[in-house]
Each structure stands twice: as structure tokens, then as C-alpha cells.
Amino acid sequence: MKRYIFLFLIIIILMFVSSCSKECEKAFDCEQKKCFTPSCINGKCDYNAIDNCCGNDICEKTENRCKCGEDCGPCSGKKGDFMEKKCINNECVYTVSSEKLQKLVFSKDKDFGLFKIELMSQYDEPFVIGTSNFTVIMTLKDTDSRLVPPITFTQFRLFERDRLLGKGLTNLQFNSIGDSFGVVVPFDFSMQKSEEDIAVTLKIDYEYKMTTSSGVQTYREDFVESYSNKFHFVNPKMED
């Protein structure tokens, strides 16, 4: 009798264990998960990933850190003192946030004997290659009676000693006191690293005419403006 009672208890326990381990009878019983199709196999819920679905734990060719950070990971990371990764046009790239940019403006008067100009320079600190601009604004302040207008500015060049960093060709002129113009001089050089401090010199070529005892003469000259502070260049697209 005891033997039958023992077998009966064993059967009850097995049925209980079997019923407890059974998760489902059909797929509808399984928990619904984003980007997964459920199925019920031998009482267990099984899940198959849905292709090209953000949330299937697979970083697929149609996805990246900006289109689906859930599968591919967050778009984050820093480089140097100013650059950090952000999503731009659905691409995770290094950039410099506008909060870290400072607009520097330097202005001085320059006397050339026959005329005086105000020279103003504007640029970002740090200077971001590809987005920042170096702008020169010039205004004619005074002239000598011997000067024969116009004063023509033909070329703006940027140097690091003898190394050319960029140039811009122009045909800008001063005809009378108060005339003013601005020109953007592009930096176009190969950086050695994604961040560099460089001492920059601006050289401007110009020509003018002057009345002399032998008649009106044409002169072609240049002047140089050196900046006491080095430019801090950053190139977010460059890999160190």
C-alpha cells in the first residue's frame, strides 16, 4: 500500500514540475517583444529577430550609431580638448560645439605714408577646418594729396614662416576715404595632427599710383601682419 502511495506522489510531483516549466501552448501566450517574432516550441517561448528592425540587437548595414543607437551603441566620444562625437545628417562624426567656439576680433590702424587704413581680423578660437572662416575687413581712413586712386589689393596670403597656409586672389579697391570691404581668406594646408597650434602671418599685396615730379608712377608693394597669439587649429575629419 505504501508503495502505491509513494508512486502516486511521484507522479503528482512530476506533473506539477512539468506544468510549472511549461511557458506556453501557442505563440500568443509568449510575451511580445519589439523586433522579435515569438513562437512556442515544446512549451517554451522562442524568439526570432526581425531583419532591419531597430531593437533586434543586431547592428545591420542599414543602421549606425545615429540611426539606431539601440543596436549599434551610442554616438559618443571625445578627442583632444574641443572635439566630441555628435550625430550630423545621421552620421556619427567628430565636431566642435558652438558653445566651445570664441570669436576673436583684432583691429589696428596702419599708416602707409600716402594712406591710412583700419585693418580688422576675425576668426574662431579654436579654428575648425572646414567650417570656420578667417575674415579680413579693411577701411580707408585717410589719404595724401599725392595719391592717385584707386588703391588695389590683389592678393591675401597666410603663412607659417615660409609655409603657405592659404591664399585668396582679389581685385578689391579703395577709391575714397570711408571705402570698406571684407574678404574671407581660406586656409588650405595639410595638418600633421587633428589639433595644432600655429603662428600665422598675413601678407597683403597691393598697388597704387602716386604723383611725382616725373609724372604719375605705379607702385606694387606688400605689407605683413603677424598675430601674437597662435591659432589653435582642429580638424574633426582627420584621424590621428
Show the domains of the chain with their CATH numbers: 27-61 (no CATH), 101-234 (2.60.40)
Q: Are 83 and 94 in contact (CB under 8 A)?
A: yes
Q: What does residue 64 show for φ and ψ, rounded to 5 degrees? A: -155, -170
Question: Which residue ranges in the chain fall short of pLDDT 50?
Answer: 2, 4, 6, 8-9, 11, 13-20
The reported pLDDT for the residue numbered 17 is: 42
Q: Are 29 and 40 in contact (CB under 8 A)?
A: yes
Q: Are 182 and 208 in contact (CB under 8 A)?
A: no
The reported pLDDT for the residue numbered 14 is: 46
The reported pLDDT for the residue numbered 239 is: 79
The reported pLDDT for the residue numbered 152 is: 97
The reported pLDDT for the residue numbered 20 is: 47
The reported pLDDT for the residue numbered 23 is: 84
DSSP code for 30:
S
pTM score over 0.85: no
The reported pLDDT for the residue numbered 10 is: 52
